Structure 1
Amino acid sequence: MKFKSVVIAVTAASAMALLGAPAASAAPTGGIDGGCKATASLDKLGRPTATSRCSGRFPSGAAHRAVITCDIVQGAREHVVRRTFRSDWATTGSAVSVGCGFKAFLVGSSSEVKGA
């Protein structure tokens, strides 16, 4: 049963994130003091969410967004589909977050920067 092994592996990865394992983060881009950091967590209802925060100096007009990748269980036969969600672009001084829905398991998170 391939489905059971995938669910077990993804559940274990989600549990590691809850126990404080380091979350994925984006490396600072060249020439910028600081950078953007993405953290993944679960909300009150157990859905995975990713939050992106930027610190340091960025050029005027720079923007960032949070990216999250989840395995989502769909349909009557419960097949697994991998989806990537992105938040709206925001200025580098503010935090942004994006999340997956129910029956979703965290695969990874990151942040993207444009205009830097």
Structure 2
Amino acid sequence: MKFSSVLVAVAAVSALAASGAPAASAAPAGGPGGSCKATADMDRLGRPDVTSRCSGRFPSGAAHRAVIVCDTVQGAREHVVRRTYRSKWTPTGSHAKVGCGFKSFLVGFSAEVKGA
């Protein structure tokens, strides 16, 4: 990914989040009977967050979680560190949410399913 396309992607996410629309959504993950979908958005303070929701039928005991990858600016010299955050495993009937901190920029996101 080129630097200019990263800026365009960040600008698009910012514009969509300001309008209140979901910014993006990842490909569904899951088994043959159901799927989990991750949606990226920004909270009211401008930090990226991801919500994972499941639909369909899953085996008993199946769980899912949201995963977000962020570039975080740190230190006095403002170097960039890439971090991956994962929510706790939750049952497929409820949603999972995870977010990045301040001075963070969205790089990628997904939903993970176990037991399906």
Structure-1 residue corresponding to 2:28: 27
Q: Does the 8 Å contact 1:10/1:107 carry over to 2? A: no
Where structure 2 has 5 or more consecutive residues not aligned to the other structure, the ranges are none
Distance change in 2, residues 1:99/1:13 (3 Å): same
Secondary structure in 2 aligned to 1:59?
coil
Q: CA RMSD in A?
A: 2.4
> Which runs of structure 2 are paired with 1:1-116 in the superposition (5 Å)?
8=7, 11-12=10-11, 14-15=13-14, 17-18=16-17, 23-32=24-33, 34-116=34-116
Residue 82 of structure 1: how far off its partner (Å) = 0.8
Distance change in 2, residues 1:37/1:48 (3 Å): same
Distance 1:7 1:26 in 2: 20
Distance 1:62 1:28 in 2: 12
Distance 1:23 1:75 in 2: 30
| Aligned positions, number | 112
Where structure 1 has 5 or more consecutive residues not aligned to the other structure, the ranges are none
- Which deviates the most, 83-92 or 7-16? 7-16
Give the letter for the 1:23 counterpart: A
Q: TM-score, normalised by structure 2?
A: 0.83
Q: Does the 8 Å contact 2:52/2:97 carry over to 1? A: yes
Identity of counterpart residues, as a percentage?
64
Structure 1 segments of 4+ aligned residues over 3 angstroms from their partners: 4-11, 19-22
Residue 108 of structure 1: how far off its partner (Å) = 1.3
Write the deviation string for residues 9-45 of structure 1: whole angstroms up to 9, x where unpaired: 563353365365862323343422x310100111111
Q: TM-score, normalised by structure 1?
A: 0.83
